[in-house]
Chains A and B, each alone.
Chain A
Amino acid sequence: MPDDSPREAWTGARQISPLAIGVAVYGLAYGLLAEQAGFDALQVGIMGAAVFAGGAQIVAAQQLAAGTGAVAAAVAGLALNLRLLLVTASIRDVYAGQPWWRIVLGAHVTTDENWALMLARRAGNQTAGYWFLVGGGLCLLLVWCLATVAGVLFAQVIPEPKALGMDFAFTAAFIAIARSLWKGRGDLLPWLTAVLVVAASIGLAGLDPSWALILGGVAGAGMAGVIGDA
């Protein structure tokens, strides 16, 4: 059997490109913020490759710049990343039976974006496996590192993502991907549960969005487990 993995990785890298543009814009903005928080270009490059979680890096740099201290900054970033536990758990077939080094590589490069893209592709009845995920992930890793370092180096000339409407790029992407994941009325109750739990967590309980996200995801999934297949 021919080895299709390079081809599949390339497909993943190509298909992630609209999301990679959003990642690049955020990377530039993050580099700017990180510079203000006291990181240099080398640290930002290492951080991008080693942490590889944009939202958490932004939150941590904001906290550090606001003077809350290193421990609080790291805790805030990690709280936001707890959702990644659900993300990697939800695609268990991708890692099943893989050698350890592929599990390590695959887990490290799994992000919201390539995970969601892989799910959307599968929902469209196309195959997308380990190398599709890793190809997209490595492409995003490269873009993220380059953009964040560029953000530090060219801090003076970078526009705010919000001024361009780019802060909405990922919201719109998640809406598009939710659309392709919709399988029918059986999804209605779990999804409604997720939205209501998120809204109640933020609006009524005043919870941090990091926790609202996790509660919403778990509540929706729990609802699907309880009501059975529709």
Chain B
Amino acid sequence: MHETWFVILALAAGTFAIRLSGVLLGQRIPKDGAWARALRALPGSLIVSLAAVSLLSGGPREWVAGLVAAIVAIVTRNLPVTMVSGIAAIALLRHLAP
């Protein structure tokens, strides 16, 4: 029982500290120059990394479904449609090639 409470408290305190540190760090980075350019490019790089990590942790079926989602995203630029296409593609691929 106390193990679970420890995990809850440690994660809650640590996660909040991480989020707040990011806010404080962001305020201290210069408003122009190389650091500012890097910070502006950070969201895109991080999103791409998030997608890359989850695709790489899968196999060929996930890669194909990722390709389907990418094509749908490029054509439609629509978030729900891309999500549904990706989910449908992976469900179908797993069904056809288990």
Contact = CB atoms under 8 A, between A and B. Distances in A.
Interface string B42-62: 111111111111111100001
A226 B36 CA distance: 11
B38 to A, nearest CB: 3
Contacts of A38: 1, 3-4
A177 B79 contact: yes
B29 A89 contact: yes
Most buried by B among A37, A69, A92, A216: A92
Interface in B37-89: 37-57, 62, 65-66, 69-70, 72-74, 77-80, 82-83, 85-89
Contacts of A226: 34
Contacts of B4: 37-39, 43, 64, 70
Contacts of B18: 78, 81-82, 84-85
Nearest to B80: A18
A107 B16 contact: yes
A168 B65 contact: yes
Interface string A109-148: 0101001110110000000000000000000000000000
B37 A172 contact: no
A96 interface: yes
B37 A176 contact: no
B5 to A, nearest CB: 7
A184 to B, nearest CB: 11
B45 A221 contact: yes
A149 interface: no
Most buried by B among A106, A165, A198, A224: A165
A206 interface: no
Interface residues of A, number: 96
Contacts, number: 288
A73 interface: yes
A74 B69 CA distance: 34
A115 to B, nearest CB: 8
A61 B48 CA distance: 27
B44 A171 contact: no
A60 interface: yes
A179 interface: yes
A53 B48 contact: no
Interface string A75-92: 001100111111111111
Contact of A57 (B11, B39, B44, B52): B11
Given A60-B11, A81-B14, A175-B82, A89 B37 contact: no
B39 A90 contact: yes
Contacts of A209: 53, 57
A169 interface: yes
A173 interface: yes
Interface of B: 1, 3-8, 10-12, 14-16, 18-23, 25-27, 29, 34-35, 37-57, 62, 65-66, 69-70, 72-74, 77-80, 82-83, 85-91, 94
